[in-house]
Amino acid sequence: MSEFVDLAASNKCYAIMWSYGEICLGCNCCGRQEKDLKMWEARLNYHEEELDRNINFNQWVEDYPEMIETQKANIKINITYQKAKIRYCKKAIKRLSLNVVSGIVKFFQQAGMK
């Protein structure tokens, strides 16, 4: 008997630049494997890598000099977007981390421990 494992990208694929919307790479940006903190950490990793890719971009269309200005404008927009997403992910991670810590404190308080 054989087994079939579906590795299709989720319809909520977050890392579309990595998966091309076709193959699930198991990055967990969509929360398919684990939700909450692990998902946000994966998203942060994704945006940091995309930011690095944009900052170090060097595949200019040299055959069409008029396109270079368009590429530069797009890279600038992408960098701004990735930085904003990184800030958002870091806030979400901090919020979830605080929720975990406060949950542990509440548990010990309810158990009569200080």
For the segment 63-83, what is each residue's pLDDT rounded down to a tens digit? 988 899 999 999 999 999 999
What's the pLDDT tens digit per position in 78-112?
999 999 999 999 999 999 888 766 666 666 666 66
In a domain, 3, yes or no: no
The pTM assigned to this predicted structure is: 0.78
**Nearest to residue 37, comparing CAs of 90, 106, 105, 102?**
90
Q: Is residue 43 part of a domain?
A: yes
Establish if 27 belongs to a structural domain.
no
Q: Is the model's pLDDT at 13 over the cut of 60?
A: yes
Query: Is residue 12 in some structural domain?
Result: no
Residue 6 lies in a domain: no
The residue with greater pLDDT, 7 or 59, is 59
Does residue 8 sit in helix, strand or coil? strand
Q: Evaluate whether residue 75 is within a structural domain.
A: yes
Mean pLDDT on 14-37: 87
